[in-house]
Structure 1
Amino acid sequence: MQAGKLSNETLKNIIISNLKKNNNDILIGPDVGEDCAIIKFQDEVCVLTTDPITAAAKNAGTLGVHICCNDIASAGVRPLGVLVTILAPLSAELNDIKTVMDEVKEACDILNIDVLGGHTEVTDAVNKMVLSITAIGKGKIGEYVTTGGAKVDDDIVVTGFAGLEGTVIIANDYFEHLKRKLDEKILKDAQSMMDNISVVKVGQIASDFGVNAMHDATEGGILGAIWETAEASGKGVHIFQNKIPVKDVTLKICHELNIDPLRLISSGCMVITCNNGAELCNKLRENGINAEVVGKITESRKIITTDNGDVEIMPPESDEIYRIKV
């Protein structure tokens, strides 16, 4: 099998199709593209999500907290805390575990959330550190946002920059290899993009603005996130490649490694659909957040216009970061 998430087709056929909902308080359960489970508690909802960190050798604690809280933010609610599971290999030292937890604590302090508990174990079941985080948030019933809420003629807004998380991971984990080909300042700039990995503020602004759908772009990159938003909504898309924001440093790194920046893991980048994308972009920019309208939600086909014409957007497969060979 390929490294990375299961394909959406496999996920649907092997896992989701075999599940059934047993409780009516579950408002949103597992589905392709949906980032969070949403549970009703009287006039409020509890929002939950979980994710592992497996692609990054460095900054696992920081990435883990922000990635999970980004999912909570994509539901338009505020994260409250995280549960942390660490599986350390036999070769690990106590300082390795401390480093991860120091990163977790720092990220939680930045977001003003709490570590709620978890589990820490040394095991021969893994050969490198595996971190899994569950994040919890809450909001008002009827005010949460889903991936599958997009409507025909919605503008598609992309915040941040495509490939952001992948750029950070690669610049850290492949620094020694890349510095032989790229200027060290470029790589340092790429590493500093970690400061922009959170979209919690984006989610709050978009929720207050009133949007129809939100989806955090993770594995499969920005094209994968746009495809999943359309698929979850039962709609199509028409986007324009030249409107998708990508930093120059990302393009340079991806060129050197022969990978596609639009299919590269992109936490820090949110896909939003709403009926007035230009106004939302202005609101986000007023708050120091880059945002661009990249296309529209349509009835059916999923299309991207490139320099070579219109191309069908294919479902996300294994992320580009797993294709790196050095």
Structure 2
Amino acid sequence: MKAGKVSEQILKRTILKQLNSKNSNVVLSSAVGEDCSRLRSDNKDIIFSVNPITIPLEVEDMGKHGIYRAFNNISAKGATPVAALVSLLMPTSSNEQDARTIIKGLDAAASKLGVQVIGGHTECCRGVNVPIITITGVGLAERDIDMKTSNVEPGMDIIATNWVGMEGTLVLLNQKREELLQHFTNPFLDKISVFEQYLSINEEAKIACNNNAATIHDISEGGIFAALWELAEGSKVGLEIDSRKIPIKQETIEVCEFFDINPYKIASMGSALIAAKDGNTIVHEIEKAGGHATIIGKATDNNDRVLLIGEEKRFLETPQTDELRKVLTY
């Protein structure tokens, strides 16, 4: 099997097809495009999301990225972030300071979201050669907030928040800075460091939920092209997306050109897709709060997932391996 997120075909035939156990308290479970599960309690629903961090990161960033990855999914379901469980596997070559740095960064990010780390497991083992952190995020949602990927209907606006490719650009900066300095100036690269401020979608998700969004889908591994496919596949709708309206920073475009990779197919934590009947209101409210959002297209009543590039028309492909893996080994 190839390194990276498994293909949709493998997910369906090898993973999801084997999951036949049922429990009456489960109201949302594993499916293509669904990043969380949902349990019903007496008054509210409990939302879970499990996320490993396998992208190469400095120890200072691993915990923070892990928390944001897990709780972006939780926020996308209209839930309030509550608690986290953490599994940390450390190579025997690591030291105690590495573990302390990872956990300190994790807890700082959790505190910003009002999340408490309530448990987990830490182990040094010979089976890994870099730290591997897996975070289970837990949130609480009102029962009348039902943000399923399958909620998208033909005619709905499709919104993208912030700028795609930020996470992948940050990773390339951190792992390949010396190589990038052969082509770019330090002030140019310093602009990329600011992307760290935009890795959480929590505020945008709150605004979308309060303004009648049908669903929210966090954009992560595989980039916006993968996320668009997952959104359409989850609702069995088509899409017509104007690629020129997809928000992306010039720094991301130029760094991806340098490494000859597609900026729309790299990790994009910090961006989200929102489907809504009235996208203009959501965009207005997000921008009024100091955020950034753009309507990039609409859902359609056929099965075509179309990308418009000026007068040219292309079709989305099933999600491929994140293009960061063409540059980095992980």
Could you state the TM-score of these two structures normalised by the residue count of structure 1? Answer: 0.98
Deviation of residue 144 (structure 1)? 2.9
Structure 2 equivalent of residue 160 of structure 1: 162
Given that 1:264 and 1:321 are in contact with CA atoms closer than 8 Å, whether structure 2 keeps it comes out as yes
**SS state at 2:5 partner:** coil
AA of the residue aligned to 1:260: N
CA RMSD of aligned residues (A): 1.2
Q: Distance in 2 between matches of 1:210 and 1:171?
A: 37
AA of the residue aligned to 2:140: K
Q: Distance in 2 between matches of 1:21 and 1:158?
A: 35
Partner residue of 2:269 out of 256, 267, 270: 267
Q: Distance in 1 between matches of 2:188 and 2:73?
A: 29
Deviations 1:167-211 (A, max 9, x none): 111111211211111111222221221111000111111111111
Structure 1 equivalent of residue 38 of structure 2: 38
Total equivalences in the alignment: 326
Structure 2 equivalent of residue 136 of structure 1: 138
Alignment of 1:317 onto 2:329: no
The aligned runs of 1:1-326 (5 Å cut-off) are 1-58=1-58, 59-299=61-301, 300-307=303-310, 309-324=312-327
Could you state the TM-score of these two structures normalised by the residue count of structure 2? Answer: 0.96
Q: Distance in 2 between matches of 1:126 and 1:234?
A: 39
Deviations 1:270-326 (A, max 9, x none): 000000111110011001111000000012211101146111101111101111169
Q: Distance in 1 between matches of 2:45 and 2:180?
A: 46
Given that 1:33 and 1:232 are in contact with CA atoms closer than 8 Å, whether structure 2 keeps it comes out as yes
Deviation of residue 43 (structure 1)? 3.2
Structure 1 consecutive aligned stretches of length 4 or more whose deviation exceeds 4 Å = none
Deviation of residue 13 (structure 1)? 0.9
Given that 1:237 and 1:296 are in contact with CA atoms closer than 8 Å, whether structure 2 keeps it comes out as yes
AA of the residue aligned to 2:171: I
Aligned identity (percent) is 29
Structure 2 gap segments, 5+ residues each: none
**SS state at 2:86 partner:** strand
Given that 1:168 and 1:192 are in contact with CA atoms closer than 8 Å, whether structure 2 keeps it comes out as no
AA of the residue aligned to 2:116: D
Q: Distance in 1 between matches of 2:92 and 2:175?
A: 21
Structure 1 gap segments, 5+ residues each: none
Given that 1:85 and 1:131 are in contact with CA atoms closer than 8 Å, whether structure 2 keeps it comes out as yes
Q: Distance in 2 between matches of 1:61 and 1:225?
A: 23
The worse-fitting range, judged by mean Cα deviation, of 221-230 and 16-25 is: 16-25
**SS state at 1:292 partner:** strand
Q: Distance in 2 between matches of 1:309 and 1:289?
A: 31
Deviation of residue 2 (structure 1)? 2.0
Q: Distance in 2 between matches of 1:21 and 1:183?
A: 55
Deviation of residue 21 (structure 1)? 4.1
